[in-house]
Chains A and B, each alone.
Chain A
């Protein structure tokens, strides 16, 4: 979905029953990540142990909503890769675990840190990157987004860390 007038990406919010500490084993179980190489195939198994139907509900450009410490546990890059392959535009959470945080930006999956208390499953959200807010269209709320360090912004703009590293022949940590 796209709001043509403003050009801001819109998408549906998906929220699991578990809100906090959603670990990378839950995102993609070791049962699958050890034997499946293609992220598109992996995407069918996202949250398989929590909600086997989850992958059918997501449309390209939708948002995944969580509480604290999203992506804790294993370092598996298959977790953000599978979420991206599923079509998730961004994961929106109160906080993220460290390795998942780096991995996501490295592979070009956007993470948004903000208060997610008033975002429910099925809400329509609109991302306004200029104003640094998430608009909850259903509830008429504007939620402030925590700003990103420069290096992370650059990596995301460049489409991932591989592209960033090749473009700048290294890291660009200062403007």
Chain B
């Protein structure tokens, strides 16, 4: 039977030939938690009354969501994580290391064809490197930690084909926002999305992560891409684990096939308070900006910082605007320092903060005041997401965020066209 990527990877990990909607038990290649979810992982693991973790090398914890700790409650949770890591001899990424979804692939824990669980909804990110990775809750993660397994329902797959030529000043963030606008925030609930087409092939691996990162914003279980040479080379440069590339078969069954031509795509903005509430930058009325954020698991990678720096170089953000930049990992931070990018941000008036989730989850690092507007490269703009239910969050590409901070209002980045030529 011809199979989708999800059907193949799950079959490979269960020892049974599977098709969509089958329920099965699979072996897990890697699993992890972050500081919002790990204390419950540890509680549930202890309740399972198993002395040891299944395989200490297949688990990690990352302190990224509230890092360094902003209050006593969070400090207690971080301590529980540190104590558990020392006791079970498992890997802990402590403060300043970066966001879990950057660290897991960057530090080589996953490779093409793997099946990965993370106690964080944006675990779908690694689909860009051909990993079936999906977010679960803490107790599901504890089961995997204790047994090396969990149960799965094989998802149906939506095939998305991206065609045309991506214009200058328009990025993979704009592509995924326009797709989510079209299919809606539950258009892919429980499904796998496969991203195909010439535009995807042209994107760098970093740009592809932005797309698969947001698959869950359409409700998807995972967002998958095939492993081309770029992916294989990227994985080999970051991991010792052998890639086992998995492609979709000719004639695989899809629940829907959608094609998007991006030739005329404009920069996209997701407006408060829903990710699928998307419009083009030319259709948005003047929106005052109080704060900008560049970073997060969606757009905190070196290429994202480079694009923003191209726009900000030798310019100043408006004095009434704050711009917060959070590199997605220590490695990215160091590279950005060497390239002079961090200096460009600081000179422009931005504040560069510790690698991690930054202000995205509303616990610290830039909580908004009542009535304020923020434009962010993150993936969620729910009411209250950044710590204040009376503030508004707009989502956009790093270029749009940088351009907007220079103007003090939401701004089409294509006015900097010369700086943004590919």
B274 touches A21 (CB 8 A): yes
Q: How far is the CA of A150 from the CA of B153 in the complex (A)?
A: 12
- Count of B interface residues, CB-CB < 8 Å: 54
Closest residue of B by beta carbon distance from A20 = B186
A20 CB to closest chain B CB, in angstroms?
8
In the complex where A31-B362, A149-B23 touch, is A99 in contact with B185 (Cβ < 8 A)?
A: no
A54 CB to closest chain B CB, in angstroms?
13
A77 proximity list for chain B (CB < 8 A):
37, 40, 119, 137-139
A161 proximity list for chain B (CB < 8 A):
139-140, 143
- Tell me which of B24, B39, B123, B361 contacts A30 (CB under 8 A): B361
B137 touches A26 (CB 8 A): no
A76 proximity list for chain B (CB < 8 A):
36-37, 137
Chain A 70-113 residues near chain B, CB threshold 8 A: 72-78, 80-81, 95, 97-99, 102-103, 106-107
B363 touches A103 (CB 8 A): no
In the complex where A31-B363, A75-B120 touch, is A103 in contact with B384 (Cβ < 8 A)?
A: no
B116 CB to closest chain A CB, in angstroms?
14
Tell whether A23 is near chain B: CB-to-CB under 8 Å: yes
Contact mask for chain A residues 25-39; partner B; CB cutoff 8 A; 1 contact, 0 none = 110011101111100
Tell whether B264 is near chain A: CB-to-CB under 8 Å: no
B37 proximity list for chain A (CB < 8 A):
75-77
Tell whether B25 is near chain A: CB-to-CB under 8 Å: yes
Tell whether B121 is near chain A: CB-to-CB under 8 Å: yes
A31 touches B387 (CB 8 A): yes
A110 CB to closest chain B CB, in angstroms?
16
Closest residue of A by beta carbon distance from B75 = A35
Q: How far is the CA of A68 from the CA of B39 in the complex (A)?
A: 30
In the complex where A25-B382, A25-B384 touch, is A75 in contact with B135 (Cβ < 8 A)?
A: yes
Stretch at the interface among B43-51, B225-233, B252-260: B43-51
A165 touches B35 (CB 8 A): no
Tell whether B76 is near chain A: CB-to-CB under 8 Å: yes
Tell whether B8 is near chain A: CB-to-CB under 8 Å: no
B347 CB to closest chain A CB, in angstroms?
32
Q: How far is the CA of A85 from the CA of B229 in the complex (A)?
A: 50
Tell whether A136 is near chain B: CB-to-CB under 8 Å: no
Chain B 294-329 residues near chain A, CB threshold 8 A: none
B73 touches A97 (CB 8 A): no
Tell whether A166 is near chain B: CB-to-CB under 8 Å: yes
Closest residue of B by beta carbon distance from A33 = B36
Closest residue of B by beta carbon distance from A36 = B73
A97 touches B189 (CB 8 A): yes
B151 touches A173 (CB 8 A): yes
- Tell me which of B36, B137, B274 contacts A103 (CB under 8 A): B137
B66 proximity list for chain A (CB < 8 A):
34
In the complex where A30-B363, A161-B139, A162-B48 touch, is A25 in contact with B77 (Cβ < 8 A)?
A: no
B139 touches A107 (CB 8 A): yes
A34 touches B36 (CB 8 A): yes
B25 proximity list for chain A (CB < 8 A):
170-171, 173
B40 proximity list for chain A (CB < 8 A):
77-78, 81
Tell whether B389 is near chain A: CB-to-CB under 8 Å: yes
Q: How far is the CA of A103 from the CA of B140 in the complex (A)?
A: 7
Tell whether A16 is near chain B: CB-to-CB under 8 Å: no
Tell whether B93 is near chain A: CB-to-CB under 8 Å: no
Tell whether A133 is near chain B: CB-to-CB under 8 Å: no
A98 touches B382 (CB 8 A): no
A3 CB to closest chain B CB, in angstroms?
33
B380 touches A21 (CB 8 A): no
Chain A 1-36 residues near chain B, CB threshold 8 A: 21, 23, 25-26, 29-31, 33-36
Q: How far is the CA of A3 from the CA of B37 in the complex (A)?
A: 39
Q: How far is the CA of A80 from the CA of B139 in the complex (A)?
A: 12
Provide a sorted-by-A list of 6 A–B residue pairs whose CB atoms are within 8 angstroms: A31-B384, A73-B121, A75-B37, A102-B137, A149-B153, A162-B44
In the complex where A99-B121, A162-B44 touch, is A29 in contact with B140 (Cβ < 8 A)?
A: no
In the complex where A97-B219, A161-B139 touch, is A73 in contact with B73 (Cβ < 8 A)?
A: no
Q: How far is the CA of A69 from the CA of B327 in the complex (A)?
A: 32
B71 proximity list for chain A (CB < 8 A):
35
B140 proximity list for chain A (CB < 8 A):
102-103, 106, 161
Q: How far is the CA of A72 from the CA of B135 in the complex (A)?
A: 12
Closest residue of A by beta carbon distance from B121 = A75
B416 proximity list for chain A (CB < 8 A):
none
Closest residue of A by beta carbon distance from B361 = A30
